Copies of this chain bind each other. A is one copy, B any other.
Amino acid sequence: MQKYFSVLRETPLFAATTDEELAAMLHCLATAPRAFAKGDVLLLAGEPAQAMGIVCEGTVHIVRDSLLGDRTLVAALGPGEVFAETLVCAQEAHSPVNVLAATACVALFLHPQKLLAPCTSACPQHTRLIGSMLRLLAQKNLYLQQKMDIMAQKTTRDKLLAFFDAQLLRVGGDTFTLPFTREALADYLGVNRSAMSRELSALRAEGILTVQGRQVTKG
Protein backbone atom coordinates (compact mmCIF):
# COMPACT_ATOMS: atom_id res chain seq x y z
CA MET A 1 0.00 0.00 0.00
CA GLN A 2 2.74 2.35 1.09
CA LYS A 3 4.21 2.07 -2.39
CA TYR A 4 1.28 3.95 -3.87
CA PHE A 5 1.42 6.93 -1.54
CA SER A 6 3.24 9.10 -4.05
CA VAL A 7 0.64 8.30 -6.70
CA LEU A 8 -2.20 9.04 -4.33
CA ARG A 9 -0.76 12.40 -3.51
CA GLU A 10 -1.18 13.31 -7.18
CA THR A 11 -4.92 13.16 -6.86
CA PRO A 12 -6.66 16.34 -5.78
CA LEU A 13 -8.14 14.30 -2.95
CA PHE A 14 -4.92 13.58 -1.16
CA ALA A 15 -2.71 16.46 -2.18
CA ALA A 16 -0.29 17.64 0.49
CA THR A 17 -0.82 14.96 3.09
CA THR A 18 1.85 13.34 5.21
CA ASP A 19 2.43 9.61 5.19
CA GLU A 20 0.78 9.31 8.58
CA GLU A 21 -2.30 11.21 7.55
CA LEU A 22 -2.61 9.19 4.37
CA ALA A 23 -2.25 5.93 6.23
CA ALA A 24 -4.91 6.97 8.72
CA MET A 25 -7.35 8.09 6.05
CA LEU A 26 -6.91 4.99 3.95
CA HIS A 27 -7.27 2.76 6.94
CA CYS A 28 -10.56 4.51 7.53
CA LEU A 29 -12.12 4.29 4.09
CA ALA A 30 -10.17 2.18 1.66
CA THR A 31 -10.00 -1.50 0.94
CA ALA A 32 -6.78 -3.16 -0.14
CA PRO A 33 -5.59 -2.29 -3.67
CA ARG A 34 -6.84 -4.77 -6.24
CA ALA A 35 -5.02 -5.96 -9.34
CA PHE A 36 -6.74 -6.53 -12.68
CA ALA A 37 -5.72 -8.24 -15.88
CA LYS A 38 -6.05 -6.49 -19.20
CA GLY A 39 -9.69 -6.57 -20.27
CA ASP A 40 -11.09 -7.11 -16.79
CA VAL A 41 -14.21 -5.22 -15.83
CA LEU A 42 -13.90 -2.79 -12.92
CA LEU A 43 -17.45 -1.50 -13.22
CA LEU A 44 -20.22 -2.78 -15.44
CA ALA A 45 -22.71 -0.46 -17.14
CA GLY A 46 -26.14 -0.82 -15.59
CA GLU A 47 -24.77 -1.79 -12.20
CA PRO A 48 -24.61 0.62 -9.28
CA ALA A 49 -21.16 1.85 -8.32
CA GLN A 50 -20.27 0.49 -4.90
CA ALA A 51 -17.18 2.59 -4.50
CA MET A 52 -15.07 5.15 -6.27
CA GLY A 53 -11.71 4.15 -7.65
CA ILE A 54 -8.21 5.54 -7.96
CA VAL A 55 -5.85 4.15 -10.56
CA CYS A 56 -2.54 3.14 -8.99
CA GLU A 57 -0.84 1.41 -11.92
CA GLY A 58 -1.63 0.86 -15.57
CA THR A 59 -4.41 2.36 -17.66
CA VAL A 60 -8.15 2.21 -17.25
CA HIS A 61 -10.71 2.98 -19.94
CA ILE A 62 -14.12 4.54 -19.44
CA VAL A 63 -16.27 3.17 -22.24
CA ARG A 64 -19.81 3.86 -23.34
CA ASP A 65 -21.84 1.33 -25.28
CA SER A 66 -24.53 2.82 -27.46
CA LEU A 67 -27.90 1.23 -28.04
CA LEU A 68 -26.67 0.17 -31.46
CA GLY A 69 -23.77 -1.73 -29.97
CA ASP A 70 -20.83 0.47 -30.88
CA ARG A 71 -18.34 1.51 -28.23
CA THR A 72 -16.90 4.93 -27.71
CA LEU A 73 -13.98 5.73 -25.46
CA VAL A 74 -14.99 8.41 -23.00
CA ALA A 75 -11.70 8.70 -21.17
CA ALA A 76 -8.39 6.95 -20.56
CA LEU A 77 -7.14 7.21 -17.00
CA GLY A 78 -3.60 6.77 -15.75
CA PRO A 79 -2.08 6.54 -12.27
CA GLY A 80 -3.49 9.07 -9.84
CA GLU A 81 -6.75 9.54 -11.70
CA VAL A 82 -10.14 8.98 -10.17
CA PHE A 83 -13.28 7.33 -11.52
CA ALA A 84 -16.86 6.65 -10.49
CA GLU A 85 -16.75 9.44 -7.91
CA THR A 86 -19.80 11.04 -9.48
CA LEU A 87 -21.77 7.82 -9.46
CA VAL A 88 -21.24 6.99 -5.81
CA CYS A 89 -21.94 10.52 -4.69
CA ALA A 90 -25.10 10.74 -6.77
CA GLN A 91 -26.20 7.41 -5.34
CA GLU A 92 -27.18 6.36 -8.81
CA ALA A 93 -28.60 2.91 -9.28
CA HIS A 94 -27.19 2.45 -12.77
CA SER A 95 -23.82 3.30 -14.21
CA PRO A 96 -24.09 4.67 -17.74
CA VAL A 97 -20.57 3.53 -18.58
CA ASN A 98 -18.24 0.58 -18.32
CA VAL A 99 -14.87 0.81 -16.66
CA LEU A 100 -12.34 -1.61 -18.15
CA ALA A 101 -8.69 -2.45 -17.61
CA ALA A 102 -6.96 -1.24 -20.77
CA THR A 103 -3.73 -2.78 -19.52
CA ALA A 104 -2.90 -4.85 -16.50
CA CYS A 105 -3.55 -2.43 -13.68
CA VAL A 106 -4.03 -1.83 -9.98
CA ALA A 107 -6.83 0.23 -8.47
CA LEU A 108 -7.73 1.34 -5.00
CA PHE A 109 -11.39 1.61 -4.03
CA LEU A 110 -12.77 4.12 -1.57
CA HIS A 111 -16.13 4.16 0.15
CA PRO A 112 -17.23 7.75 0.52
CA GLN A 113 -20.21 6.66 2.59
CA LYS A 114 -17.66 6.11 5.31
CA LEU A 115 -16.66 9.70 4.83
CA LEU A 116 -19.93 10.69 6.38
CA ALA A 117 -21.29 7.72 8.20
CA PRO A 118 -20.06 7.81 11.78
CA CYS A 119 -18.87 11.40 11.59
CA THR A 120 -15.67 10.16 13.16
CA SER A 121 -14.75 13.76 12.68
CA ALA A 122 -12.49 15.54 15.07
CA CYS A 123 -9.82 14.27 12.72
CA PRO A 124 -9.05 17.33 10.61
CA GLN A 125 -7.93 15.36 7.55
CA HIS A 126 -11.35 13.88 7.45
CA THR A 127 -13.02 17.22 6.95
CA ARG A 128 -10.33 18.31 4.57
CA LEU A 129 -11.06 15.26 2.48
CA ILE A 130 -14.73 16.14 2.37
CA GLY A 131 -13.79 19.59 1.18
CA SER A 132 -11.60 18.09 -1.53
CA MET A 133 -14.41 15.86 -2.60
CA LEU A 134 -16.81 18.77 -2.91
CA ARG A 135 -14.23 20.73 -4.84
CA LEU A 136 -13.51 17.81 -7.13
CA LEU A 137 -17.16 17.42 -8.08
CA ALA A 138 -17.72 21.15 -8.44
CA GLN A 139 -14.70 21.63 -10.67
CA LYS A 140 -15.75 18.80 -12.90
CA ASN A 141 -19.08 20.54 -13.06
CA LEU A 142 -17.56 23.80 -14.18
CA TYR A 143 -15.50 21.95 -16.74
CA LEU A 144 -18.60 20.36 -18.21
CA GLN A 145 -20.47 23.63 -18.28
CA GLN A 146 -17.63 25.27 -20.11
CA LYS A 147 -17.49 22.48 -22.64
CA MET A 148 -21.24 22.78 -23.09
CA ASP A 149 -20.86 26.43 -23.91
CA ILE A 150 -18.50 25.45 -26.67
CA MET A 151 -20.58 22.61 -28.02
CA ALA A 152 -23.71 24.76 -27.98
CA GLN A 153 -22.29 26.88 -30.77
CA LYS A 154 -23.97 26.11 -34.03
CA THR A 155 -21.16 26.31 -36.55
CA THR A 156 -17.74 24.69 -36.54
CA ARG A 157 -16.16 28.10 -36.76
CA ASP A 158 -17.94 29.32 -33.66
CA LYS A 159 -17.01 26.19 -31.77
CA LEU A 160 -13.37 26.67 -32.63
CA LEU A 161 -13.41 30.32 -31.64
CA ALA A 162 -15.23 29.59 -28.40
CA PHE A 163 -12.70 26.91 -27.57
CA PHE A 164 -9.77 29.15 -28.41
CA ASP A 165 -11.17 32.01 -26.38
CA ALA A 166 -11.56 29.74 -23.38
CA GLN A 167 -7.97 28.56 -23.74
CA LEU A 168 -6.63 32.06 -24.17
CA LEU A 169 -8.58 33.18 -21.13
CA ARG A 170 -6.96 30.39 -19.15
CA VAL A 171 -3.40 31.24 -20.06
CA GLY A 172 -4.07 34.95 -20.16
CA GLY A 173 -2.05 35.67 -23.28
CA ASP A 174 -2.73 35.63 -26.99
CA THR A 175 -0.99 32.35 -27.75
CA PHE A 176 -1.47 28.84 -26.49
CA THR A 177 -0.60 25.25 -27.26
CA LEU A 178 -3.27 22.80 -28.32
CA PRO A 179 -3.45 19.87 -25.93
CA PHE A 180 -4.83 17.76 -28.76
CA THR A 181 -4.03 16.19 -32.03
CA ARG A 182 -6.28 17.57 -34.76
CA GLU A 183 -8.27 14.39 -34.79
CA ALA A 184 -8.83 14.54 -31.05
CA LEU A 185 -9.79 18.20 -31.24
CA ALA A 186 -12.43 17.49 -33.87
CA ASP A 187 -13.69 14.70 -31.69
CA TYR A 188 -13.76 16.95 -28.66
CA LEU A 189 -15.78 19.55 -30.53
CA GLY A 190 -18.05 16.93 -32.00
CA VAL A 191 -17.38 17.84 -35.62
CA ASN A 192 -15.97 16.18 -38.67
CA ARG A 193 -12.20 16.33 -38.87
CA SER A 194 -11.92 17.45 -42.46
CA ALA A 195 -14.62 20.08 -42.04
CA MET A 196 -12.71 21.42 -39.07
CA SER A 197 -9.48 21.40 -41.02
CA ARG A 198 -11.21 23.37 -43.76
CA GLU A 199 -12.47 25.92 -41.26
CA LEU A 200 -9.06 26.26 -39.64
CA SER A 201 -7.56 27.01 -43.01
CA ALA A 202 -10.23 29.61 -43.62
CA LEU A 203 -9.58 31.27 -40.28
CA ARG A 204 -5.91 31.38 -41.09
CA ALA A 205 -6.56 32.75 -44.58
CA GLU A 206 -8.72 35.49 -43.15
CA GLY A 207 -5.96 36.50 -40.77
CA ILE A 208 -8.00 35.74 -37.67
CA LEU A 209 -5.55 33.14 -36.43
CA THR A 210 -2.01 32.00 -36.86
CA VAL A 211 -1.60 28.27 -36.58
CA GLN A 212 1.71 26.46 -36.54
CA GLY A 213 1.47 22.86 -35.51
CA ARG A 214 -0.08 23.03 -32.08
CA GLN A 215 0.73 26.68 -31.53
CA VAL A 216 -2.30 28.93 -31.97
CA THR A 217 -2.06 32.71 -31.91
CA LYS A 218 -4.95 35.08 -32.09
CA GLY A 219 -4.96 38.06 -34.42
The answer for the CA separation of A130 and B131 in the assembled complex, in Å, is 10
The answer for the CA separation of A18 and B119 in the assembled complex, in Å, is 21
The answer for the CA separation of A128 and B91 in the assembled complex, in Å, is 14
Contacting B at CB under 8 A, from A87-142, are 87-92, 96, 112, 116-117, 119, 121-122, 124, 126-128, 130-131, 133-135, 137-142
Contact among B117, B134, B141, B151 with A152 in the assembled complex (CB-CB below 8 Å): B151
B141→A141 contact, CB < 8 A: yes
Within the complex, what minimum Cβ distance (angstroms) separates A126 from chain B?
8
For the complex, would chain A's binding face be called helix, strand, loop or mixed by DSSP majority? helix
B residues near A151, Cβ cutoff 8 Å: 148, 151-152, 190
The answer for the CA separation of A120 and B147 in the assembled complex, in Å, is 37
Within the complex, what minimum Cβ distance (angstroms) separates A41 from chain B?
20
B138→A89 contact, CB < 8 A: yes
Q: Is A16's CB within 8 Å of the partner chain B?
A: no
Q: Is A24's CB within 8 Å of the partner chain B?
A: no
B121→A90 contact, CB < 8 A: no
The answer for the CA separation of A92 and B138 in the assembled complex, in Å, is 9
A135→B192 contact, CB < 8 A: no
B residues near A211, Cβ cutoff 8 Å: none
Q: Is A146's CB within 8 Å of the partner chain B?
A: yes
Within the complex, what minimum Cβ distance (angstroms) separates A171 from chain B?
15
Residue on B nearest A123 in the bound complex, by CB = B119
Q: A116-B130, A141-B141 are in contact. List 11 more A-B contacts (CB 8 A).
A: A86-B145, A88-B138, A89-B135, A90-B138, A90-B142, A92-B142, A117-B127, A144-B145, A147-B148, A152-B190, A154-B190
- Chain A contact residues, CB within 8 Å of chain B: 64, 67, 85-92, 96, 112, 116-117, 119, 121-122, 124, 126-128, 130-131, 133-135, 137-142, 144-149, 151-154, 165, 190-192
* Shortest Cβ-Cβ A-B pairs, 8 listed: A89-B138, A90-B138, A121-B121, A137-B137, A144-B144, A89-B134, A152-B190, A119-B127
